[in-house]
């Protein structure tokens, strides 16, 4: 959570092409497809059906990267055939996620929850009235899970970066016309959110937790300079320690949360609260428990590697 | 709460500010009534440390509606608030 520069990202427009195929694809997604999704629920199914082979074609090199990252992370645990199978699912999971987003922008009516384990963990933690911190990773079904939880009476505050989520655009068209639209779209999908760049971010989270609410923090994105280096799935990365700062200050319960499948086949899992000795000094507290949280979530990824979205992010951070 | 007590309270708050943010600074060298929020480029987590430090120092939880940068950055408002609480005259 929240180191703040307060400075906008400055990019040199002159280096950017006018438009790229990738941005054209996003333009089709954000305008005609999104418009169709508003009038027909079949639009998102069509997107998966048509978009998967198209994305597979566009992201051939990405798939090879994902396969290599999987191989690095799992070593001999996965056979070559399994690595191929999992990396082949990556384009489909991606198109399913963006199709889910089209649906979630309009609400949670289309969500089908196949299983929800650990609801009692959440209820017990909320009953203590100290707030609940979901520590999680970027699962493909993460947004669907939060919509589903909200529909059950468990609204979740999302903590995220303000910047565009599909990645910085690589064209002038994308930067000027698509990124603002995508940003508004993402806000409509997520709904209940606070930005790590905001200087009041931690206080907003603190208020929510003190009010007995739920806040979600991702450990697979280094939000700020407050990180601890440690191995995650075969790579050494900076894991943000903000969740533990919050946990120590507020006394809230810390529950690992996992979301698998998609909006129409959601599998939600909330683990029991992680036992924390809050008498430790902050530095020692973070150094002792951050690896514990990471190990729990890493084990969840190992159970179903294709449910975790940012294999490619790992590469950028390695 | 008399002026002497208010000055002592302000000193305690300044002390918490310096300690919780691990500033390499003597708290007595802070301005008499500084805008705490603008000092030291307080980021979001630092504000959290300050809240934790205040709560530990005064042994009670600050109400959620008070958890704003404006309030936490205003030394006079903090002195009024803690004086009211410690004097049993909390708003």
Whether residue A3 and residue B49 make contact (CB cut-off 8 A), yes or no, is no
Higher-confidence residue: A198 or A142?
Answer: A142
**Which of A196-200, A242-246, A309-313, B79-83 is predicted with the least confidence, judged by mean pLDDT?**
A309-313
A119, A270 Cβ separation under 8 angstroms: yes
pLDDT score, position A64: 85
Which chain A positions have a beta carbon within 8 Å of B42's beta carbon?
199
Spatial separation of the C-alpha atoms in residues A133 and A271, rounded to whole Å: 12
Spatial separation of the C-alpha atoms in residues B81 and B62, rounded to whole Å: 9
Which chain B positions have a beta carbon within 8 Å of A210's beta carbon?
61, 64, 67
Spatial separation of the C-alpha atoms in residues B30 and B32, rounded to whole Å: 6
Does the pLDDT at position A210 exceed 70?
Answer: yes
Question: How does A44-79 read in b/e, with b if 16+ C-beta sit within 10 Å?
Answer: beebbeebbeebbeebeebbebbbebbbebbeeebe
Residue B64 sits at the chain A interface (C-beta within 8 Å): yes
ipTM, two decimals, is 0.82
Whether residue B44 and residue A210 make contact (CB cut-off 8 A), yes or no, is no
pLDDT score, position A318: 38
**Residues facing A253 on adjacent strands:** A132
pLDDT digits (tens, 9 = 90+) for B11-63: 999 899 888 877 767 777 666 666 776 654 567 788 888 999 999 999 999 99
Whether residue A203 and residue B68 make contact (CB cut-off 8 A), yes or no, is yes
């Amino acid at each position: 959570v929240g180191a703040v520069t307060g400075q906008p990202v400055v990019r040199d427009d002159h280096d950017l092409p006018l438009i790229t195929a990738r941005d054209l694809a996003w333009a089709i997604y954000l305008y005609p497809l999104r418009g169709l999704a508003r009038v027909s629920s079949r639009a998102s199914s069509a997107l998966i059906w048509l978009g998967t082979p198209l994305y597979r074609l566009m992201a051939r090199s990405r798939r090879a990267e994902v396969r290599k990252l999987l191989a690095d992370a799992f070593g001999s645990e996965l056979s070559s055939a399994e690595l191929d199978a999992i990396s082949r699912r990556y384009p489909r999971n991606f198109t399913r996620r963006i199709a889910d987003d089209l649906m979630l922008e309009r609400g949670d009516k289309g969500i089908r929850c196949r299983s929800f384990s650990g609801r009692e963990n959440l209820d017990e933690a909320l009953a203590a009235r100290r707030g609940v911190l979901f520590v999680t990773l970027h699962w493909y079904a993460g947004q669907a899970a939060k919509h589903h939880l909200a529909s059950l009476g468990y609204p979740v505050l999302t903590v995220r970066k303000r910047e565009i989520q599909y990645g910085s655009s690589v064209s002038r068209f994308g930067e000027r016309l698509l990124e603002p639209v995508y940003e508004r779209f993402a806000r409509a999908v997520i709904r209940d959110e606070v930005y790590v760049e905001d200087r009041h971010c931690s206080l907003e989270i603190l208020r929510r937790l003190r009010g007995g609410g739920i806040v979600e923090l991702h450990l697979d994105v280094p939000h700020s300079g407050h990180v601890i280096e440690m191995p995650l799935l075969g790579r050494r990365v900076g894991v943000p320690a903000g969740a533990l700062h919050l946990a120590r200050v507020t006394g809230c319960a810390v529950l690992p949360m996992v979301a698998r499948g998609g909006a129409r086949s959601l599998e939600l899992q909330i683990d029991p609260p992680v036992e924390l000795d809050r008498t430790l000094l902050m530095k020692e507290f973070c150094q002792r428990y951050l690896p514990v949280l990471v190990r729990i979530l890493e084990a969840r990824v190992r159970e179903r590697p294709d449910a975790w979205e940012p294999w490619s992010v790992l590469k950028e951070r390695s | 709460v008399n002026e002497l007590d208010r000055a002592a309270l302000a000193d305690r708050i300044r002390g918490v500010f310096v300690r919780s943010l691990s500033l390499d600074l003597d708290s007595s060298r802070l301005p008499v009534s500084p805008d705490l929020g603008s000092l030291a480029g307080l980021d979001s987590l630092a504000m959290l440390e300050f809240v934790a430090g205040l709560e530990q120092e005064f042994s009670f939880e600050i109400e959620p509606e008070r958890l704003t940068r404006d309030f936490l950055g205003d030394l006079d408002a903090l002195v009024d608030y803690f004086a009211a609480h410690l004097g049993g005259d909390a708003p």
